[in-house]
Amino acid sequence: MGMTMTQKILAKHAGLASVEAGQLIEAKLDLVLGNDITTPVAITEFDKAGLTQVFDKDKIAIVLDHSVPCKDIKSAQLCAQARAFAQRFDITHFYDVGQMGVEHALIPEKGLASPGEAIIGADSHTCTYGALGAFSTGVGSTDMAAGMATGLAWFKVPSAIKVTLTGKFAPYVSGKDVILHLIGQIGVDGALYKSLEFAGDGVAQLTMDDRFTIANMAIEAGAKNGIFPVDDLTREYLHGRVDRPWEAVEPDADAVYDQEVVIDLDQLRPTVALPHLPSNTRTVDEVAGMPIQQVVIGSCTNGRLKDLQEAADILKGRKVAKGVRCIVLPATQQIMMDAMAQGLIQTFIESGCAVSTPTCGPCLGGHMGVLSNGERAVSTTNRNFVGRMGPTDSEIILASPAVAAASAVAGCIADPAKL
């Protein structure tokens, strides 16, 4: 029986010739990741278990990104705990204020993920690195603690859904629309503990930033991971970033999939997810005119340079509507500098946006953009659950950077093609 991309990676890391869906394995890890919220919990468990060493200081990454610069005493204490741990074990890849970025944008940027690797992170959106052909998945903080100590993790090998992409994008359609469309089609549990494996000639139409966005939101369909094949665009992205050997995998011709979903990119329209689930999708045409009070452009889903370029193209020469707050969060310091060099930051500020240092803050309702009662936001983030960004009667509409920017200008949900 043939194996999928994910199954091949897991088999190799478990030292097995082959694996099959449902099999329990112990696999070696190439990277263990945590942030300022999850790492302190892992540290507490690490110390409670009497552990005294990490398996490899070069294969652990700690990124302070959720509540930094620290928003209150508690967040400052959590960051201090993470700093002390990183110093105690001389963790190579420790990223603090001034060097940090939103973790799932920073890790690929720094070359810490590459094809064929097995990565766990104490954050559900660790599945982002599947864009590079890696197996990466979110785990709990206890698993992070064990991973830091042993370099190992237990997995149940997932079955897979094949997502075949065909055609080409229309104007103002991007990777965010692909993944929202897919989640709307199969539901938030449609890929529960399965691998979403992307294929088809339409993959070539996706930029790396599109692929990061799609892989990032695989978890919103319940998936264990999302993964893309490695092509020339992937190799170009990795060149100069990753200097260690890596090996891409391809699915076997007879790989077994639970189902196949075909998405014709030609037919996609800009898509949004209404409250309170990422699966509650509509095309922008169906909900245009819905009033909003806030727009957030950023996060581990859509805070990369292409995302900022798309938003700035729409905002240039225009103003954010009266009564709307537009917050822009470049996902890393490098993205911030690139955006400055291209004049994007000036465009945002001239349009009336607030531009922030990299942070996850508004996405989880932490800081830098919390909503008030009854307010509604359009956000390029990945979740729109009840109370995610503020009180339980506030609302979040998920959208692409293009739709978010157009909505900021219009003061309501807007089709960027009709501004």
| Per-residue pLDDT reduced to its tens digit, 63-110 | 999 999 999 999 999 999 999 999 999 999 999 999 999 999 999 999
Domains of the chain: total: 2
| Residues 236, 369 within the same domain | no
Extract the tokens encoding 281: 């999708």
Distances (CA, A) of 91 to 53, 146, 295: 11, 16, 36
| Residues 237, 362 within the same domain | no
**For the residues of 360-398, what is the DSSP string, one character each?**
-GGGGTSSSS---TT-EEEESSS---TTSSSSTT-EEEE
Residue 67 falls inside a structural domain: yes
Structural domain boundaries enclosing 172: 5-242+258-263
| Residues 198, 288 within the same domain | no
Which of 263, 292, 309 lies at the terminal end of a domain, its last residue?
Answer: 263
Residue 341 falls inside a structural domain: yes
| Residues 218, 276 within the same domain | no
Residue 314 falls inside a structural domain: yes
Residue 183 falls inside a structural domain: yes
Position 308 scores a pLDDT of: 98
| Residues 237, 371 within the same domain | no
| Residues 167, 279 within the same domain | no
- Asked whether residue 276 carries a pLDDT value surpassing 90, the answer given is yes
Residue 104 falls inside a structural domain: yes
- Asked whether residue 1 carries a pLDDT value surpassing 90, the answer given is no
| Residues 280, 238 within the same domain | no
pLDDT band at 419 (very low <50, low <70, confident <90, very high): confident
**Rounded to whole angstroms, how far apart are CA atoms 242 and 235?**
10
| Residues 238, 276 within the same domain | no
Which of 201, 229, 263 lies at the terminal end of a domain, its last residue?
Answer: 263
Position 161 scores a pLDDT of: 98
Average pLDDT, the chain: 96
| Residues 30, 85 within the same domain | yes
Helix or strand holding residue 166 (H, E): strand 159-166
**Rounded to whole angstroms, how far apart are CA atoms 134 and 216?**
12
Residues 11-14: contacts with CB under 8 Å, at least 24 apart: 12/116, 13/118, 13/135
Residue 248 falls inside a structural domain: no
CATH number, domain at 294? 3.30.499.10
| Residues 72, 197 within the same domain | yes
| Residues 327, 208 within the same domain | no
Residue 247 falls inside a structural domain: no
| Residues 144, 213 within the same domain | yes
Residue 308 falls inside a structural domain: yes
Position 210 scores a pLDDT of: 97
* Residues 189-215 pLDDT 10s: 999 999 999 999 999 999 999 999 999
Q: Where are the alpha helices (DSSP H) in 114-221?
A: 141-150, 175-186, 208-216
- Asked whether residue 296 carries a pLDDT value surpassing 90, the answer given is yes
